[in-house]
Amino acid sequence: MPTSDSTPNGTFSSVEQASHYLRQVDCLNPQTANVDRSLLRQALLLVVQASDYQIFGICADTLTQGIQALESYATALNYAPTLDLPTIEEAVYIKFNPKSGLCYASLYSGNHRGVLVSCQSATEAGINEMFGHLPLDLFMD
């Protein structure tokens, strides 16, 4: 189970602590799948604020599930993707780059499900790291 290294009130005191927490979480791993979702959201929001932009990769069972995940993450992180995606009847991978506006979906034959969030910074000293797989429904409750 990941440790939060947080203050007694359950908040992270630094971006480094939040990044450390996120690095330990992978919803594909049964040992970290049942993390405190509030702490997970808080850690992600803190790291996102410290980076310049993010790129999202979503692995989902259906296009509808993937779109719901993308919309919930995008709303939480103040993005508005343009979703002009093809109809796909099987498992799907959706990529969204808010900086370029690119959003596409393709068939996905892998077994992983979840959201990958790649935080990007303009400088090497900034946050340039990918986190996940995070829960598809992290921002839906």
pLDDT at 5 over 90: no
Tokens of 129: 């790291």
Q: Domain spanning 15-134: which CATH class is it, in words?
A: alpha beta
* Length of the chain in terms of residues written: 141
Tokens of 63: 């296009």
In this structure, are residues 54 and 117 in contact, taking their beta carbons and an 8 Å threshold? yes
For the chain, what are the domain ranges?
Answer: 15-134
Categorize the per-residue pLDDT at 9 as very low, low, confident or very high, splitting at 50, 70 and 90: low
Nearest to 45 by CA among 72, 18, 25, 67: 18
Residue 90's contacts (CB-CB under 8 Å, 6 or more residues apart) are: 107, 108
Tens of pLDDT, residues 54-109: 999 999 999 999 999 999 999 999 999 989 999 999 999 999 999 999 999 999 99
